[in-house]
Structure 1
Amino acid sequence: MRLRSCAGFRGEGEDKPAGENGSKGFCTMTRYVFVTGGVASSLGKGITAASLGLLLKARGLRVAIMKFDPYINVDPSTMSPYQHGEVFVTVDGGETDLDLGHYERFIDVALTRRSSVTAGRIYQEVIDNERRGVYGGATVQVIPHVTNAIKDHVYGLAKQSEADVLIVEIGGTVGDIESLPFLEAIRQVRHDVGRNRVFYVHVTLVPYLKAAGELKTKPTQHSVKELRSIGIQPNAIVCRTEQPLPRDVREKIALFSDIETEAVIENLDVATPYEVPLRLRTEGLDRIVVERFGLSLPPADLSAWEEVVDRVARLSGAVRVGIVGEFVALHDAYLSLVEALRHAAIAHGVALEIDWVDARELKRVSPDARLGRLDALVLPGTWDDREEDGKALASRYARRAGIPFLALGYGFPVALREVLGVWGSERPAGEGVLPMSASLPGYGWVGARPVELAPRGMLSEIYGKERIEERMRHREGVPFHWAEELGRRGGLPEAWSEGREYLLGFRFEGHPWFVAVQFYPEFASRPTRPHPLFLAFIGAAVKARARTTLR
């Protein structure tokens, strides 16, 4: 169901640079939902925004979604994973916040770089405009120039996506200095488009004090007070809590926040984030939003989602998968990978147990002793060659032990060098660094690119076709001529770039399941539609587990 189309709409000041046009170039029919957070970080704003997007899409609306991050980095591409978790790559090459992964997995859309905007990018645009004289000699200020630039991104995505509803998450916590321009900008949106086309969701914490045996609403009250002090009145408050919210607690929050009691939404801790949309539907969040917008829509059909949650409740047995990397102390550094493995495990009806293996550890202890209890092994991607020796030892162990192995991204050249025997300390004396990699043009390959698969090969059988598109993020490629040497060592080329310029994947002949690819299929996996490569990998792990059990 579509409410209308923005196609052909030309807003005032269209095509002018950020912050110049007074931000009046909005599509007049799009509704806007803004998601803010208070009390503390890591309360699940991203999951809440993604869940609401899923619910509204299931009601028949066309949904777009984006996130503003208040840090000064232009994007997270140069940030350590320990700072901000994984870098999620969009199809058009955007290097973005990990919350975009939640959005894609829940709403089942392929987002672009337009859905991730940082304060650094906003300030860069405004300063560039000032240097070019765009503002005509005016004193450049946070209001209106920075806030207009922020709104230009909001209205630009609404117009480009032709969305019925645009959901916008504001990163950080209400009260943070760096997020104030974003909060002021979304306050102004209500003035621009009318209050009946804007809905504010505030995500807060209602802690349970065990010593007192009570839920405490004061943190939420103060957070809402802070939000209202800058002119934003929330329409709904999503309360993260480990205990159910009694009616009197909801009424107290509603009274002090000046909202309806039914708009106080309980968001209990759950075993899996995939339960959250179902919980929010039960609480009526999507109904409240739809009614606020004056829409008459059918209820959300989440039958496919319910099937996933039901499968989770009926898992039998488990597979133990090792993830070998240098950032394993922060699991969010591999968030999309873990979710893709979990999607496949759920589809196979087994629980996923992850053993986080620090690559440095494998240089100190015997890989056989450390990895011997695993059913399968993953070598995830990274952006450089740190800890290559430990990763190569993991590849060698998997190859010799015959356990399922999957290398992704930068894990591909590591596995390739291991098979060829030219890695780190194993490199033949006197040969130096072999020219295995060649620099790619520009900043490398980032985003979705075409991949050709070997006819009648293992990967073409898994994918069901011989030409695919997968997301990449690397600066160097392995020239295809190395396939000849790989073949002499037992490797079979399985994937390459157009024209066979670069080798992009191989398997090891005679091994039950040993695959290495220089792309990131995890970004395309969905709970209701697991990626075929991970389905095959977990399937091989299940078989390996069965063989071990029989022995």
Structure 2
Amino acid sequence: MENQYNGKTKFIVVTGGVISGLGKGVAAASIGALLSNRLKVIPVKCDGYLNTDPGTMNPTEHGEVYVLDDGGEVDMDFGHYERFLNVVARSEWSLTMGKVFKLILEKERRGDYLGHTVQFIPHVTNAIKEHFFEVANKENADVLLIEIGGTVGDLENQFFIEAARQLSHEVGNENCMYVHLTYVPIPSGVKEQKSKPTQMSVRELNERGIYPDIIIARCEEFLKPHIKEKIGLFCNLPASHVISGVDVKHVYECPLVYDKEGIPEILLKKLRIYAPPKLDTWSRLVDTMNRNDSNPRKILNVAIGGKYTRLEDSYASIVESLNHAAAHLDVHVEIRWIDTEKLEQHPEEVEADMQGIDAVIIPGGFGTRGIEGKVVLIQYVREHNIPFLGICYGMQLAVVEFARHVCGMKDAGTMETESSKHHVQDPVIAYLPGQDKIKEMGATMRLGGHDVMIRKDSLAEKVYGATEIRERFRHRYEVNPQYVEQLEKGGLVFSGKAKNEDIMQIMEIPGHPYFMACQFHPELKSSLLHPAPLFLGLLKAADERA
């Protein structure tokens, strides 16, 4: 193999069973959070789908696309990794089966296999292991945290599981451990914790040659001692290695639960790594969140207007960013989802939708569906002085709304709606240079981290406390430079611009309690310990107004 084990890195492999959606990403990130105080923990996510990345997937099918600083479009679990581990993730930490097959075919065409028949084993599994070692060596990782997507038994993740099995054989049992996330249901009829699904899931994992060192069992409540004993007996591990993955109000409780359940001691015993967790500030913020859930100092009602509202995972990072800011401001946020497609058909309902709302967010998105509903919503919050944050497409539509209703450009719009049947008379939002020639969909937008220069004495400078920041982008359109002067004459302020480029990145309206919009995605850099400034500013303004 090209990349070999460095003799230093410890490997923790996280798999899942019984049902999907149990939260393997949160579980893996929580284990990493327990170690990251003293050790360099690097996460790798293995996804079985044949897309090279999730960039072209519909958010209602796969959840939000998480964008990294280096421009990589990756699975939303990377949001958990960055927020829990305090790392800036890289594209190569995401490994899809599409990437693996593409690599294998490229190597075969180059003649790297010297005429051998290319087979799933050893060539595909070797390529996967080589990738693990390459990342571990390049990052000088103390711990490589490998999450295998899907559930045991899924056809598409079998080569990842086989590679994980071989990993222990290659690096030594003392350098590799397996964590399996399962489900312990409590059927309403019997009201008793049932261990059989866990037993069957672990048996299926055993059939593939992996014997978990830790079982984390998701359940509505902490596992009863006799259930831990039963799972341990049938799954061939001590009862103390069966962990209660109890349902929590906020995912940030998971590291605290795992700490109390004894995972650090198991890691020390198995992998000989001593890294006592340091979670004091983390614990205090979680306590604040939990207290405000039951006995809030103040409730702020925040509306999120979009077209993917039937799957909240489409806006997962926005929800988390609100939670982060709320914890620091000691408030509780209630989210009201507004389907802007419905609002587009019935704009007269905007007043009813806005009853009791303290702040509004228009998130990013693509396409033409629901955009006129978003414009209706933006006009209402601008005219009624409701704190507002527009993100990416939300900023572009805020510009469209301002152009139409303040600057008198009744036909202002975005080139995103341009078609053979519809001509945009005043394209205040246009293609970024060169984007109109691109035909492929994947990884072709302006992606990743870019520097933003902030105008002095602006609200943006006050919010960020800086005149130069770095944020993450994912867009194909921009504010049309030909209209900037006219928009600013009307009272709009572009308070953030790209460094060395004439691309508008932040807009605000002076005199409004809080009308901010940005071309980037501030939610992608927010964390519990360091909330995104624009979300913090939004909730501060909403708190003062309320």
Cα deviation digits, residues 462-504 of structure 1 (max 9, x gap): 1111111100000122244432111122201111112351111
Equivalent residues of 1:440, 1:475 under 8 A apart: no
1:32 to 8, 11, 26: 11
* Pairwise CA distance, 1:410: 1.4
1:198 paired with 2:191, answer: no
Pick which of 329-338 and 264-273 moved more.
264-273
- In structure 1, the partner of 2:83 is 105
The code of the aligned residue for 1:388 comes to I
Contact 2:392 2:475 in 1 (8 A): yes
Q: Which residue does the alignment assign to 1:160?
A: 138
Q: Which residue of structure 1 aligns with residue 188 of structure 2?
A: 210
Secondary structure of 1:224's match? helix
1:110-259 equivalences under 5 Å are 110-259=88-237
Q: Does residue 332 of structure 1 match 2:313? A: yes
Partner SS state of residue 453, structure 2:
strand
Q: Are 2:59 and 1:81 equivalent residues in the alignment?
A: yes
Contact 1:322 1:376 in 2 (8 A): yes
The letter of the residue matching 1:279 is V
1:509, CA displacement in angstroms?
A: 2.4
Q: Give 2:338's aligned residue.
A: 357
Match in the other structure for 1:6: none
Identity across aligned pairs (percent)? Answer: 39
Q: Secondary structure at the match of 1:175?
A: coil
Q: TM-score, structure 1 length as denominator?
A: 0.92
Does 1:43 pair with 2:18? no
- SS where residue 231 of structure 1 aligns? coil
Q: CA deviation at 1:365?
A: 3.9
Residue in 1 aligned with 2:284?
307
Tell me, in whole angstroms, the C-alpha distance in 2 between the residues paired with 1:499 and 1:220: 56
Match in the other structure for 2:504? 503
In the TM superposition, residue 417 of structure 1 has moved relative to its aligned partner by 1.0
Q: State the distance in 2 between where 1:520 and 1:431 align.
A: 26
Return the offset for 1:384: 3.5
Cα deviations by residue, 1:270-302 (Å, 9 ceiling, x for unpaired): 11111111000000112201221123x252121
Cα distance in 2, alignment partners of residues 24 and 111 from structure 1: 21
Contact between 1:24 and 1:192, CA under 8 Å: does it hold in 2? no
Task: Give the Cα separation in 2 of the matches to 1:153 and 1:224.
Answer: 26
Q: CA RMSD in A?
A: 1.9
CA-to-partner distance for each residue in 1:12-54, whole Å, 9 max, x for gaps? xxxxxxxxxx255232210000000010111111111000000
**Residue type at the aligned position of 1:302:** L
Give the Cα separation in 2 of the matches to 1:132 and 1:460: 52
> 1:361, 1:37 → 2: CA distance?
38
2:290 counterpart letter in structure 1: A
Partners of 1:438 and 1:208 in 2: how far apart?
53
After TM superposition, give the deviation of residue 145 of structure 1 in Å: 1.0
CA distance in 2, matches of 1:430, 1:280: 57
Q: Which residue of 2 aligns with 1:526?
A: 527
Distance 1:294 1:388 in 2: 55
Alpha-carbon distance in structure 2 between the residues aligned to 1:308 and 1:126: 46
Find the residue that maps to 1:421 and give its secondary structure: helix
Structure 2: where are the runs of 5+ without partners? 413-421, 436-443
Match of 2:33 in 1: 54
Distance 2:227 2:103 in 1: 45
1:344 corresponds to 2:325: yes
- Displacement after TM superposition at 1:347 (Å): 1.0
Using the TM superposition, give the Cα deviation of residue 435 of structure 1 relative to its aligned residue in structure 2, in angstroms: 5.7
**For residues 503-523 of structure 1, what are the alpha-carbon distances to aligned partners after superposition, in whole Å with 9 as ceiling and x for unaligned?**
111111221110111000111
With over 3 angstroms needed to count, the CA separation of the structure-2 counterparts of 1:298 and 1:201, relative to structure 1, is: closer
Partner of 1:12: none
Q: What is the 5 A alignment of 1:257-406?
A: 257-295=235-273, 297=274, 299-315=276-292, 316-363=297-344, 364-366=346-348, 367-406=350-389
d(CA) in 1 for partners of 2:352 and 2:509? 23
Q: How does 1:366-515 map to 2 (within 5 A)?
A: 366=348, 367-421=350-404, 426-427=410-411, 432-434=425-427, 436-441=429-434, 443-515=444-516
2:48 aligns with 70
TM-score by length of 2: 0.92
Provide closer, same or farther for how the CA distance between residues 126 and 72 of structure 1 changes in structure 2, counting only shifts above 3 A.
same
Q: Which runs of 4+ in 1 moved over 4 A?
A: 428-431
Distance in 2, Cα, partners of 1:314 & 1:218: 35
Secondary structure at the counterpart of residue 208 of structure 1: coil
Q: Please state whether the residue corresponding to 1:456 is helix, strand or coil.
A: coil
Report the Cα distance in structure 1 between the residues aligned to 2:269 and 2:39, rounded to whole angstroms: 14
- Letter of the 2:11 partner, please give it: Y
Q: CA-to-partner distance for each residue in 1:399-438, whole Å, 9 max, x for gaps? A: 1011001001111111101100189x94179972526313
Offset of residue 262 of structure 1: 0.7
Q: For the residues of structure 2 that align with 1:72 and 1:430, how far apart are their CA atoms?
A: 37
Distance 1:462 1:223, change over 3 A: same
In the aligned structure 1, how far is the partner of 2:464 from the partner of 2:77?
A: 27
Distance 2:144 2:470 in 1: 27
Aligned length: 522
Q: Secondary structure at the match of 2:447?
A: strand
Cα offsets for 1:328-386 (capped at 9, x unmatched) = 11000000011001111111111110010011122214212222321110010113343
State the SS of the aligned residue for 2:303: strand
Contact 1:85/1:330 (<8 A) preserved: yes
SS for the counterpart of 1:436 is strand
CA distance in 2, matches of 1:513, 1:365: 23
Query: Partners of 1:496 and 1:481 in 2: how far apart?
Result: 15
Are residues 452 and 239 of structure 1, via their aligned partners in 2, closer, same or farther at CA, if it must alter by over 3 Å? same
Structure 2 CA distance for aligned equivalents of residues 430 and 291 of structure 1: 67
Paired residue for 2:439?
none
> SS at 1:271's partner residue?
coil
Q: Distance in 1 between matches of 2:116 and 2:46?
A: 26
Aligned residues of 2:307 and 2:339 also touching (Cα < 8 A) = yes
Equivalent residues of 1:480, 1:500 under 8 A apart? no
- 1:249 deviates by 1.1
Structure 1 unaligned spans of 5+: 1-21, 546-551
> Offset at 1:543?
1.3
- In 2, distance between residues paired with 1:244 and 1:511? 48
Matched, 1:538 2:539: yes
